[in-house]
Amino acid sequence: MYGRRTEIVSRNACPHAARKNAARTGLSHACRVGAARGHLAAWPHNPEDWPGKFQAIPWLYAEIVRLLAARERVHLLVEDAKAQQRAHGILERAGANLEQVSFHLWPTNRSWTRDSGPIFVRNGEGKVGITNWRFNAWAKYSDWPLDDQLPGRVTELLGLPEWQPAVEQADGFAQRLVLEGGSIDTNGAGILLTTEECLLSEVQERNPGVSRGQMEQAFHDYLGIDQVIWLNRGIAGDDTHGHIDDITRFVGPGTIVTCVEPKTSDPNHAPLAENLNRLNAARTLDGKQFDLVELPMPQPVVFRSQRLPASYANFYIANRLVLVPTFSRRERPRGAEHAGGGLSGARSHWHSCVDLVWGWARCIA
């Protein structure tokens, strides 16, 4: 289905060899508004991911799987056979199409496969490959070794070519690069969005000693990126320290949805205003302005005196379906109708995320 494995770059390979192989294939990062062959998710098992709310989480996951399995195959990671049996029972009671669900007994530390999973690339002929970036739990938590194995497991399952992005330091050491899926967003045509807070800050520093220029070169070599748009900061309460998928998203080659906060007293106002200014100054590869759609922030969501990273920008695009997070029954944010990027036949499904706000469908995908 996915083709045979070719030109695998080993874990200890020289980064120059990896770049040479990637460049020869013509592979580039695929825009997320394109059709997907499947959805990769880890069944929830770590209560610390949803403190005080875990009891409801498996049922909320089941509803997401039900919606997705009606349109695409869902690859579900479980800890062991007993966990598979429990998940199967919940999904069955939720009405999910279990013929579209494949279980994999791959233990994980956390459930955030959006960040720990592989980043796929493809060329103009439709050939697909995998970039296996390191994962270190946002340079914040210690429970990540199992999650770091996920891209390699997917490579073996699908039999695809794989590259492990790295940069060569002054001492000749090949340093593998850390990158989470939620820290970048691309238009599928050579432009990438990210934030300085996430990839360049010394706080939760993913890649010590790696410069802005080296990151941009890695994006070019491994993801086919010709231009990087650096925004400033993410939103309050985001413990990933500046993920782009909470604030600004491509919904087409030249169209960007970006969050704004009109209340000047809100801590999100200033950083989001600066991000908007940077986007207004940015240009496409052929020198045109981007079509910018402003997406208002929801009312603050607070749990146990802690502000949570609630954002409508964390929508998930599936086949003919867009899952949009909401945080109250009355919410239908202006601008969210653009989430599907004009996908033919796609419909929006508004999904309450008061309990899931730590990790919405896009975070677990």
pLDDT of residue 290 exceeding 50, the answer is yes
**Per-residue pLDDT tens digits for 47-89:** 988 888 899 899 999 999 999 999 999 999 999 999 999 999 9
Asked whether the predicted pLDDT for residue 350 surpasses 80, the reply is no
17 pLDDT higher than 50? no
- Residue 25 near residue 123 (C-beta atoms within 8 A): yes
Render pLDDT for 114-152 as a digit per residue (tens, 0 to 9).
999 999 999 888 899 999 999 999 999 999 999 999 999
Q: Which residue has the tokens 């791959």?
A: 106
Q: What pLDDT, on the 0 to 100 scale, is given for residue 208?
A: 95
At 328, the amino acid letter reads: S
Residues counted in the chain: 365
For the chain, give the mean pLDDT. Answer: 86
Model confidence at 361: pLDDT above 70:
no
The HSE-up count of residue 227 (CA atoms within 13 Å, CB side) is 14
Sequence ranges of the domains in the chain: 15-352
Q: Are 158 and 147 in contact (CB under 8 A)?
A: no
Count of other CB atoms within 10 angstroms of residue 332: 11
Is residue 359 within 8 A of residue 180, CB to CB? The reply is no
pTM over 0.75: yes
d(CA 352, CA 262): 23
pLDDT (tens digit, 9 = 90+) per residue, 205-251?
999 999 999 999 999 999 999 999 999 999 999 999 999 999 999 99
- Per-residue model confidence (pLDDT) at position 304: 83
Look at the domain 15-352 and name its fold.
Answer: L-arginine/glycine Amidinotransferase; Chain A (3.75.10)
